[in-house]
């Protein structure tokens, strides 16, 4: 509608080896962090094998997988050292939003 501000919704991928266990945990933590800061985001879990061919704005993953994914990814790959560390996840979400706009 005229006069309404368009808010970008980020497509966010949480990646682990098989796209089930730890990526689901990270997905939930990322959902909370984006929501807590009022940033529109569609967060989904992915596996390392298909993550770089899946359309998204950012990939959050472990340090080990980031080394593999970064050269192949068409979007930023952000390392999360602890998938249960709320402060780390929120800080990295805010840094991503600051760099890539919301």
Each residue's pLDDT tens digit, 71-99: 999 999 999 999 999 999 999 999 999 99
Radius of gyration of the chain, Cα coordinates, nearest whole angstrom: 13
pTM over 0.85: yes
Q: What is the pLDDT of residue 87?
A: 97
HSE-up of residue 94 (Cα within 13 Å, Cβ side): 8
On average, the pLDDT of the chain sits at 91
Structure tokens at 59: 């990939």
Q: Give the residue-averaged pLDDT of 10-39.
A: 92
Domains detected in the chain: 11-91 (3.40.50.2300)
Residue pair 30/12 in contact (Cβ under 8 Å)? The answer is yes
């Amino acid at each position: 509608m005229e006069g309404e501000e368009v808010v970008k919704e980020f497509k966010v991928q949480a990646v682990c080896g098989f796209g089930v266990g730890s990526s689901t945990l990270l997905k939930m933590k990322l959902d909370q962090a984006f929501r807590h800061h009022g940033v529109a985001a569609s967060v989904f879990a992915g596996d390392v094998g298909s993550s770089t061919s899946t359309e998204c704005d950012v990939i959050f993953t472990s340090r080990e997988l980031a080394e593999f994914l970064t050269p192949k990814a068409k979007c930023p790959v952000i390392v999360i050292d602890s998938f249960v560390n709320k402060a780390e996840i929120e800080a990295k979400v805010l840094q991503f939003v600051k760099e890539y706009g919301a």
